[in-house]
Structure 1
Amino acid sequence: MPQSPPLSSASSSSAVSASGSSPGRRRTSPPLHSTLLREDFDEVLESEVFVDVNKLRKYARHGIPDEIRGEVWKYLLGVEKPDRSNEFTQRRARFESYQEIDKENVEVSKRVRGEVNRYLMRTKKESFLNPHTAPAIFDIVICAYINCNNHVEYSPALVPACAPFVITMDNDCDVYSCFERLANVLHESSQEKNINKRVAQFLSYFRTLMPELYNYFEEEDLDVGEWASSWLRYLLSKELPTPSVLSLWDVYFAMPDYIEFHPFVCLAILKHLKDSLEDLEQSEIRSVLLRLPKMNIGRIVSQAHNIRSEIQARYNLSMSPRS
């Protein structure tokens, strides 16, 4: 398969090593279903004429093998085009466009580096990123994005939102291209009028679906707006463990409406944690909601589909003449 145009040696090598695993990390043979899944993906990705993105979406809903996640995400996000007749030309144009971007921003860079260090400390047990090389990739990519989007203010949350791409992509050009696609969507959905509406709607669904837990949060004087806004703005990249984020985003990038679907995933997580949360006090609840445990994303997504159907049925019923 043709490769992306090479970056400069320094940039390329740092990007590759940023997500490298520890030399001592054990490698295990994948289970049979993973092998079969990889074969399905390979059949699509190795097509010489046209990459069937619809098939990639279908397969991605069940998870993407780690070693090809970056390649698949590029197609799902529209960074790579399905028509391969001009593949090299398109990649070269994207690379040259990226090279022209100003990647220096002293003020933002200092803040990015500090937040990346905190992120690496928080996730060091996961061993997904090389602490020596990853900070430079975050710095380059986020500064480039801010410089190209003057209407966007830097937020520490951009670091965990960028991390999955640093982990999965082979070079900083691809990291930037994918991160830019997602960041633009998140920025639009997080505009004040949009996020306020989304939080209000989410809390309405929460109160309807789980009134006991909602009331318990109120009794504990929990600032619902704090965690709900964070959950909704950045697709749980700040709160979920990295493996769960990667699995969840596999599903999201395969969907045309993942921003609209996301609140139902958040509700499914609350439902999953309901019993344990009701045994905790305010500070403990807050800690759990801001640092969620690892969970079975497949089950959460399945529950989210059920919740969406239930909510739609309830709201349709409430608007019917007989209600």
Structure 2
Amino acid sequence: MSRSALFERVLSTPVVDLKKLFNISWHGVPDEWRWQVWKYLLRYVPVEKNRTEKVLEKKRKEYDILLKTIPKDENEETNDETKIRKQIVMDIMRSNITIPMLFVDKIQNAMKRILFLYALRHPACGYVQGLNDLVVPLLVVNVEEFSMKIGEDVMNDLNESQLQWIEADTYWMFSALLENIQDHYTSEQSAIYKQLDEMNVVLERVDAKLADKLNEENIQIIQFAFRWFNCFLLREFSFKQGLRLWDTYLSDEDGNGFKVFHLYVCVAILKKYSAKLVTLEFADLVQFLQNLPTNEWTDDDMNSTLSEAFVLFSQFKDSPSHLSRSK
């Protein structure tokens, strides 16, 4: 049975077997099913098919009501709100150039509203650069319910109602995604710094030679890996492989794909290139680490790295002190 047929079978039942869906999604979701699968993985829609339409209608109406709480123009904004809005606009203009759809005015305006509303409703988090990157996969996947285009002509396939549904669904899925990782995006971003320290400890345990090399060259993990945690590797891979990676992250039934498993993926990436990295001198080493040749990865590259990450995760997860520096 093909993977597409497997997903079709799981998704065609009156009550979707969520546990099975999590399990098969770990190995990647076919493009044609992703828009539907991610809604389940983020628990945005109920597993009972006969309730889906009503739940979506309710959430979309609720989003419309929330939009009315956004200041109508700059004159109604506080200084902080104006600062947030301007930063969002700047970041959206720097969106992924490989996805022309993101430069369509209506799509950009939807992204602005999603991010601005989220910032207003979550003052402890607000808006931090990097959040704009996290909206993109969700938005594109929701567009794919109605159109598989990612070019500027996507609007030829979308009517106004569909665009509103896409925006609302993206907002709620974005909110669900951030529930477990909101502390990544506080003003101090303390959770990211903590994970960078933990990553360093894991690297010392599993690849002492590379860890020693970084120490010898006085290169700290934060110098190249902060972006890996801030944008969850979306900037390191092609968009196609970024979606594939997120299939696995979202398929963690406990919701720890981004919060826990991601760290081991980062270590697995370093291990993949370890033999080359240990031969480089400072300047070339920094250049390589900041520009890994991951943009050309194939499915096999991604799958083997995720498998390695799972081995590392399994090795450490049952040890309460696995991130302690004591030997």
The residue that corresponds to 2:4 in the other structure is 38
TM-score (norm 1): 0.77
Gaps of 5+ in 1: 1-32
Rounded Cα–Cα distance in structure 2 between residues aligned with 1:154 and 1:316: 34
Rounded Cα–Cα distance in structure 1 between residues aligned with 2:305 and 2:89: 33
Which moves more between the two structures, 237-246 or 57-66? 237-246
Distance 1:90 1:315, change over 3 A: closer
Q: Which has the higher contact order (CA 8 A, sep 6+)?
A: 1
Are residues 1:131 and 2:128 paired? no
Please state how far the C-alpha of 1:149 moved relative to its aligned partner: 0.7
Superposed CA deviations along residues 89-132 of structure 1, whole A, max 9, x for unmatched, are: 21111111111123555432322222122223xxx2x3463422
Q: How does 1:200-219 map to 2 (within 5 A)?
A: 200-219=197-216
The residue that corresponds to 1:298 in the other structure is 303
- What is the letter of the counterpart of residue 173 of structure 1? A
Rounded Cα–Cα distance in structure 2 between residues aligned with 1:160 and 1:280: 31
Match of 1:114 among 75, 87, 90: 90
Distance 1:288 1:154, change over 3 A: farther
Distance 1:62 1:174, change over 3 A: same
Which moves more between the two structures, 176-185 or 273-282? 273-282
Gaps of 5+ in 2: 72-80, 144-165
Rounded Cα–Cα distance in structure 2 between residues aligned with 1:163 and 1:144: 16
Superposed CA deviations along residues 231-275 of structure 1, whole A, max 9, x for unmatched, are: 234422343332222111101111123122221111110001212
Asked whether the equivalents of residues 264 and 305 of structure 1 are also in contact (C-alpha less than 8 Å), the reply is: yes
Asked whether the equivalents of residues 227 and 290 of structure 1 are also in contact (C-alpha less than 8 Å), the reply is: yes
Q: How does 1:201-280 map to 2 (within 5 A)?
A: 201-255=198-252, 256=254, 257-258=256-257, 259-280=259-280
Asked whether the equivalents of residues 210 and 271 of structure 1 are also in contact (C-alpha less than 8 Å), the reply is: yes
- What is the letter of the counterpart of residue 312 of structure 2? I
Which moves more between the two structures, 218-227 or 91-100? 218-227
TM-score (norm 2): 0.76
Please state how far the C-alpha of 1:76 moved relative to its aligned partner: 0.4
Rounded Cα–Cα distance in structure 2 between residues aligned with 1:234 and 1:127: 17
The residue that corresponds to 1:96 in the other structure is 61
Superposed CA deviations along residues 266-296 of structure 1, whole A, max 9, x for unmatched, are: 1110001212323444454444434441332
The residue that corresponds to 1:187 in the other structure is 182
The number of aligned residues is: 281
Asked whether the equivalents of residues 16 and 47 of structure 2 are also in contact (C-alpha less than 8 Å), the reply is: yes
Match of 2:48 among 83, 99, 121: 83
Specify the SS of the correspondent of 1:40: helix
Asked whether the equivalents of residues 118 and 126 of structure 2 are also in contact (C-alpha less than 8 Å), the reply is: no
Rounded Cα–Cα distance in structure 2 between residues aligned with 1:313 and 1:91: 39
Distance 1:164 1:278, change over 3 A: same
The residue that corresponds to 1:66 in the other structure is 31
Asked whether the equivalents of residues 183 and 190 of structure 2 are also in contact (C-alpha less than 8 Å), the reply is: no
The residue that corresponds to 2:17 in the other structure is 52
Rounded Cα–Cα distance in structure 2 between residues aligned with 1:282 and 1:117: 33
Distance 1:151 1:253, change over 3 A: same
Cα RMSD for the two superposed structures: 2.8
The residue that corresponds to 1:198 in the other structure is 195
Distance 1:194 1:108, change over 3 A: closer
Asked whether the equivalents of residues 137 and 166 of structure 1 are also in contact (C-alpha less than 8 Å), the reply is: no
- What is the letter of the counterpart of residue 274 of structure 1? S
Asked whether the equivalents of residues 50 and 83 of structure 1 are also in contact (C-alpha less than 8 Å), the reply is: yes
Rounded Cα–Cα distance in structure 1 between residues aligned with 2:133 and 2:174: 11
Asked whether the equivalents of residues 186 and 234 of structure 1 are also in contact (C-alpha less than 8 Å), the reply is: no
Rounded Cα–Cα distance in structure 2 between residues aligned with 1:244 and 1:282: 29
- What is the letter of the counterpart of residue 212 of structure 1? K
The residue that corresponds to 2:137 in the other structure is 164
Specify the SS of the correspondent of 2:29: coil
Rounded Cα–Cα distance in structure 1 between residues aligned with 2:7 and 2:175: 25
Asked whether the equivalents of residues 213 and 278 of structure 2 are also in contact (C-alpha less than 8 Å), the reply is: yes
Asked whether the equivalents of residues 81 and 87 of structure 1 are also in contact (C-alpha less than 8 Å), the reply is: yes
Specify the SS of the correspondent of 2:237: coil
Asked whether the equivalents of residues 53 and 75 of structure 1 are also in contact (C-alpha less than 8 Å), the reply is: yes
Specify the SS of the correspondent of 1:138: helix
- What is the letter of the counterpart of residue 83 of structure 2? E
